[in-house]
Structure formats: C-alpha cells, structure tokens
C-alpha cells in the first residue's frame, strides 16, 4: 500500500525533502506556487548544477486568475499567427503582476527577500524552470523526482498539496507516494546444461515468429526489437509466455531469489543520512549487497563458477561484482570454516546474446508479478524450479526475514499470513 500524507498524521514536506536529497532532477505540476513553499525546498534544488538533466521543472496552473481576459487572450493568440506588440506587452505585464502577487502572498520579511533573491538566481542559473499553463484550469498536483538508481529511478507524490508552505505541511491534505515498483528482486538461475537450454529457446522463438497465428503482431516484427529478437516477459504476448514457461519447467533448473521492499530501503537511507550527514547513497550499493546475500552459500561446492550478469548501464562493473562474490565466499568461510579457491569468472552480457538471461528474466517476472500485483498463477506454474526465495524485509517473525522453499511454498496465503 502507498503511504498517505495528510499533513496531520504524516507530513508531506519532510518526506519530499528526504527524496529530494537523493534525486538529481525533478518535475513538479501544481495549481499554486508561492515563495514560502519554495523556500522549504530551495536549498536542495540549489545543489543541482542546472541544465536540462539537473534541474527542477515547475508547471503552475494558476487556475483562478482574477482577470480572465488574460486567459482568453492567450487562448485567442494560440489560434492566430499575429498579435500586435502593444497587446503582447500588456499581456506580459499582466502575467508578471499576477504571478508576482501569487508568489509573495502575505507580509514579506527579510527572509522572504533573501529567498526571492535565491529564487531569481536559480531561475537565471537554469536550476529552476517555471512554465505557466493557461489553456484551461489545471488542478493537478504531482511531484516527480528522478535519480540515477536502477532500483527505484522515479518516485512520485500525487494528491492535493500545492507548492505552498501550507500545502506542504500545514493544511489537511491527501497525497500518496507512487514508486515505479515497490519491490526490488534479484535472482540467480543455476543451469546445468546452458547450451541445451539456449538451443531450445532459440528454436522456440524462431518457430513462434514463423507461426501465422502471430502475423501482424507488432512485438513479433523484427523492427520492434522485442520478441522477434529475444524473449522478454514484460513485452511478450500471453501466448508466448505460456510457451516459454512450459519449456523452462522441462529443464532441471534451480532458481534462487532475494526480495527487498524499496520503501524499507528508502527508510534505511534516510536514517543513515540523519545519523551521518556525509553518507550518500550509491545506486549500486543495494545491488552489490544483494549479490553478496544471494551467493553467500553457493560458492563452495564446485570446481569453478562461470556467472553471467545482465549488463546494467554503460559502466563496466565486472570488477565490482567479482569483489562482491569474493566477499560473499569469504563471509561463508569465516562463518562455517569451509574454504574454497575455485575460480570465479564474471561475464557481463545481454539477454539478446546470452539466451539463458532470458530464462532468468522469466523467473524474475513471475516473482515480480506475484509481489507487485498479487498474481499467483505464473509463480505457481513454475514453482517446481524454485529452490529459495528470501524476503528480507518481512521481519515480523524473524529479523532475518522469511525463507520460502519447496517445503514452505511462497503463496498469497503464506505472504498475507506473514504480512
């Protein structure tokens, strides 16, 4: 469930500030905007260098302008090619006056003057871009914050709060937070015969693309860069998914998954920032941590390991992932006294060239679908290939979370019982 911010039990402003601390750009859409509201967050915007990828873009509806002539004139202007200079100048002055009145409502103080100067500087530096929407009344209030984090790149706050101090913290409001996905899931698929699995996946894909049943389906056309080139559960048709799932359960595969709740992660980061202001969250921090947790008990039995990771972004993280794996093996050795010097080879690749990564994608999609949408049928269909799912943040019964296995299956009944 999303959190509800009513500015009574839970204020929006502290949460918005905490998210801004982790973001590198933002898009806001509000009906009203004033200086005291902006002053509540302007120090965080000030840290951004400015420019198209490092700024706050603010759209203001101003839905109750006292002079409706302004709106009507602008609407008329949008449908015509010409506007005389005197009329254009008059409209610009009216617009500036109305916006100035809205921006500085109340009795100005020295702090307000300083804030206004900061606002002016941010506008000139490109750290803030303000646009007015006058085509029709705009009542929407939406705050989108972006960061270069593969786990949770976008966080949104949607509701009734304008970008005013009262709207952010004083009035009774209703807002909810919206995440791209609430859960971050990392998976490991143990494949005894990779060549056989890849051959069958490729054969299946070719047969399906030639099947007249799929003629004209966009995702089955090469130019779409989707199913015609590689299986990807999110993009594939339901009929395609069924075929792929049916193929996967015929192989002796062993899947291990680890699940984290992004809201809990965000809470951890905020607490770390409070305890240590010098701490800054690294987008790869969670990923590397989960790699260590996922592999901690699985690098001591065999003579060697060839581990394919799906490439993420443009940077080469082979060395970082190898260090995470070595650390996982070291931790296991320190705990159990079992040594292993088996070589570990880390190979970054893409699902298009490493077809076994397409199989991993299908397992992850089924698990993600279960957690995000509470759809059980996909997970149930391939559960025979699951060996372990570790839900780290379900700590109601044990601080280490919950472990789901073949003897303790992950079902909706089990999930809600624990949650």
Task: Give per-residue pLDDT as tens, 105-163.
Answer: 665 678 778 888 899 999 999 999 998 876 677 788 999 999 876 556 888 999 999 99
Please report the pLDDT score of residue 92 as a whole number. 58
Counting beta carbons within 10 angstroms of the beta carbon of residue 329, is it exposed (0 to 12), middle (13 to 18) or buried (19 or more)?
buried
**Which domains does the chain possess?**
4-179 (3.30.870), 183-418 (no CATH)
Those residues of the chain that have pLDDT short of 50 are 63-67, 69-70, 76-77, 80-81, 83
pLDDT of residue 284: 83
**Paired sense of beta strands 154-159 and 141-146, if any:** antiparallel
Handedness of CA 267, 270, 274, 278 (dihedral sign): positive
Q: Which of 47, 36, 195 is nearest to 127 (CA)?
A: 47
Instruction: Write the DSSP string, 315-373.
Output: S--HHHHHHHHHHHHHHHHHHH-------EEEEEE-TTT-THHHHHHHHHHHHHHHHHH
Other CB atoms closer than 10 Å to residue 281's CB: what's the count? 19
Q: Residue 276: is it exposed, middle or buried by C-beta count within 10 angstroms (0-12/13-18/19+)?
A: exposed
Q: Which of the 8 DSSP states describes residue 297?
A: T
Strand partners, 57: 27, 129
Give the pLDDT confidence score for residue 1 in this predicted structure: 52
Q: Which residues contact 410 (CB under 8 A, 6 or more apart)?
A: 370, 379, 383, 386, 389, 404
Determine contact, residues 151/144, Cβ cutoff 8 Å: no
- Can you give the pLDDT at residue 151? 58
pTM above 0.75, yes or no: no
Give the Cβ contact number of residue 247 at 10 Å. Answer: 17
């Amino acid at each position: 469930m999303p959190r509800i911010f009513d500015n009574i039990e839970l204020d929006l402003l502290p949460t918005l500030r905490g998210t801004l601390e982790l973001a590198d750009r933002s898009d806001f859409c509000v009906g009203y905007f004033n200086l005291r509201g902006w002053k509540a967050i302007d120090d965080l915007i000030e840290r951004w260098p400015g420019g198209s990828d490092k700024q706050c873009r603010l759209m203001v509806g101003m839905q109750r302008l006292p002079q409706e002539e302004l709106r009507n004139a602008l609407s008329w202007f949008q449908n015509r090619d010409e506007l005389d200079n005197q009329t254009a100048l008059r409209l610009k002055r009216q617009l500036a006056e109305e916006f100035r009145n809205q921006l500085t409502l109340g009795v100005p103080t020295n702090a307000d003057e300083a804030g206004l100067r900061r606002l002016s500087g941010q506008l000139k530096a490109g750290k803030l871009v303000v646009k007015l929407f006058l085509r029709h009344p705009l009542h929407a209030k939406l705050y989108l914050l972006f960061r270069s984090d593969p786990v949770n790149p976008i966080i949104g706050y949607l509701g009734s709060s304008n970008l005013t101090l009262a709207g952010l913290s004083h009035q009774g409001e209703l807002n909810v937070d919206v995440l791209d996905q609430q859960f971050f899931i990392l998976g490991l698929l143990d494949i005894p015969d990779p060549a056989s699995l890849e051959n069958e996946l490729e054969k299946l894909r070719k047969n399906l693309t030639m099947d007249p049943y799929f003629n004209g389906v966009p995702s089955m056309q090469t130019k779409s860069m989707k199913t015609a080139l590689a299986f990807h559960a999110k993009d594939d048709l339901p009929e395609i998914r069924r075929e792929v799932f049916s193929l996967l359960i015929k192989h002796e595969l062993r899947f291990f998954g680890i699940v984290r709740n992004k809201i809990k992660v965000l809470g951890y980061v905020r607490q770390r920032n409070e305890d240590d202001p010098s701490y800054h969250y690294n987008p790869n921090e969670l990923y590397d941590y989960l790699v260590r947790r996922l592999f901690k008990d699985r690098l001591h039995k065999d003579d060697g390991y060839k581990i394919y990771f799906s490439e993420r972004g443009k940077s080469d993280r082979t060395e970082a992932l190898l260090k995470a794996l070595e650390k996982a093996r070291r931790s296991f050795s320190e705990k159990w006294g079992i040594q292993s010097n088996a070589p570990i080879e880390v190979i970054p690749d893409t699902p298009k060239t490493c077809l076994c990564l397409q199989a991993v994608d299908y397992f992850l999609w089924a698990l993600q679908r279960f957690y995000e949408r509470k759809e059980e049928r996909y997970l149930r269909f391939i559960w025979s290939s699951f060996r372990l799912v570790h839900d780290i943040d379900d700590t109601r019964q044990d601080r280490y979370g919950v472990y789901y296995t073949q003897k303790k299956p992950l079902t909706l009944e089990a999930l809600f019982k624990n949650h």
